[in-house]
């Protein structure tokens, strides 16, 4: 089914959301020191990061973000950590 050409030109993400996603990707890339694969869901005005992982994991490297690392590297992208 062909999409309406007018709909194809409408941006689904506003510039602020794109900026938050960009900063989150940069934060994760710095943490892993590598490119990352990020899966996210947007519900209303909230972005939920479902999964973040390096594209090429190094041997014996953890595949999750450690809460202590996040706390020590204060970042406006991360707003609440238990």
Measure the CA–CA gap between 33 and 68, rounded to whole angstroms: 17
Any long-range contacts for 70-73 (C-beta under 8 Å, 24+ apart)? 73/27, 73/31
Longest dimension (CA), the chain: 49
What's the average model confidence in pLDDT over 27-50? Answer: 90
Residue 7 pLDDT greater than 70, yes or no: yes
Model confidence pTM above 0.85: no
CA nearest to 53, candidates 18, 21, 75, 29: 29
Q: What is the pLDDT of residues 40-80, one digit of tens each?
A: 998 888 889 899 988 875 555 555 566 676 666 655 455 44
Which residues does 48 contact at the CB level (< 8 Å), separation at least 6?
40, 41, 42
Give the mean pLDDT of the chain: 77
């Amino acid at each position: 089914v062909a999409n309406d050409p007018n709909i194809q030109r409408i941006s689904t993400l506003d510039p602020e959301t794109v900026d938050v996603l960009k900063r989150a990707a940069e934060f994760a890339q710095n943490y892993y020191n590598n490119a990352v694969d990020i899966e996210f869901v947007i519900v209303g005005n909230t972005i939920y990061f479902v999964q973040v992982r390096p594209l090429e994991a190094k041997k014996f490297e953890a595949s999750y973000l450690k809460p202590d690392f996040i706390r020590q590297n204060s970042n406006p992208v991360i707003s609440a950590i238990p």
